[in-house]
Chain A
């Protein structure tokens, strides 16, 4: 690995100051950054280890929501009783990601900023606009089974790999960030960016900005929610398609719905078009399928991922059906 300096700041101000220097990177659990550094894709001069900062608890918010410190480990968040009862899809999303060892290391902040698993991004011999702006994109006509179908561009078709973020998008979570100019609150929908012609710019964070917390608003419908992940093997693999869904039904009609998709877009994809079609309508198979098809109507596929729109429609429909018939977690 390329040499770098290591600093462990005592407080947020020091962390932000250190990370604002060019070539600096925050270090959480290291499960993505250390890997990318070993591959020579990330090449920081300074690594700012934030794991000593006091953001490692989950606390109640006055409005009934939850505040999750950015340094809470993924395994700890998945096991939190409040998360499991009020937002089961958050717990399920976390548990469907990586392995137990990795979840014991990974932090919430780092999960939001993990980078794509597009194989060409990892392969120095390939052209990749995300790794090397202007180089081209070998995924367009290459092995693109995992590539995205919504929100992608001619410059990059990679997907955002996080499972947690899909659930956070469905819940309209807020990300709290600290920078040199103080604190900002960023809605999940505005945190990640679509690639356009700058796929290397992945979030709306300014250099040196530290994620300090994620806040979940109260969402009553989320008590009946589910994260369903479809992948090439039963466990320990990234999503081909995933669905975070919450559903509230009264007298056969949808009175509350949240829907977001993973594995299909460069960011966690909030399915607002489907939500709008579902809300107030009948909670039946036909309505679920119609809404799913509408959400996927703009899908752009390539040779390897042409199966994804159908898979996404089927997964959305099945997940909503399961929620409407009172089926919860397996």
Chain B
């Protein structure tokens, strides 16, 4: 049997969809559910444009097989309402906006990780300072180089 029916709660609503085992979570979200917020940058886990939240934890949807996420809860940028969105606009945290959905989902996951006391490679600095934000967000690349605005937006939203 090539196709399996999986169920995921996506942005609050239960979706059932038929997927072949080789369909990535990213393709399932974009192609089958029409959620084009999560972007396909590299399709190799290297850029973070595809970042979504699975049960509140940030992951790269491009390296995830959809079938592995049967029964899970997925949040994409379409399901997000968060002060980060306004903050990104206010601080010029975007230029073309291609990386922005991934940046915002990643930042939401990151703030939860930090809140839960999860360490990073620069842990030791107090609170969520710039070095800490940059390290924790290093899985999200921005081709436009909007990093300074992104860091400022996250700094503001985390207060």
Contacts and interface: CB of A to CB of B under 8 A. Distances in A.
Interface stretch (A88-96, A280-288, A300-308): A88-96
A248 to B, nearest CB: 22
B122 A1 contact: no
Interface residues of B, number: 39
B73 interface: no
Interface string B21-37: 11010000000000000
Contacts of A49: 67-68
Interface string B8-32: 0000000000001110100000000
24 contacts: A2-B22, A3-B20, A3-B21, A5-B21, A6-B4, A30-B63, A30-B64, A30-B65, A34-B24, A34-B64, A49-B68, A78-B118, A84-B119, A95-B119, A96-B121, A100-B136, A101-B58, A101-B109, A104-B57, A104-B109, A105-B60, A235-B138, A329-B123, A330-B122
Contacts of B60: 31, 99, 101-102, 105
A6 B67 contact: yes
Nearest to B121: A95
Query: Which of B60, B113, B121 counts the most chain A CB atoms within 10 A?
Result: B121
Contacts of B20: 3
Contact of A101 (B24, B44, B48, B121): B48
Interface in A1-40: 1-6, 27, 29-31, 34-35, 37-38
Contacts of B2: 3
Contacts of A102: 45, 60, 63, 139
A4 B21 CA distance: 7
A100 B58 contact: yes
A126 interface: no
Nearest to A52: B68
Given A79-B117, A99-B48, 14 more contacts: A3-B2, A31-B60, A31-B63, A51-B68, A91-B119, A99-B60, A99-B139, A100-B110, A101-B45, A101-B60, A102-B45, A104-B58, A236-B139, A330-B124
B28 to A, nearest CB: 13
A26 to B, nearest CB: 13
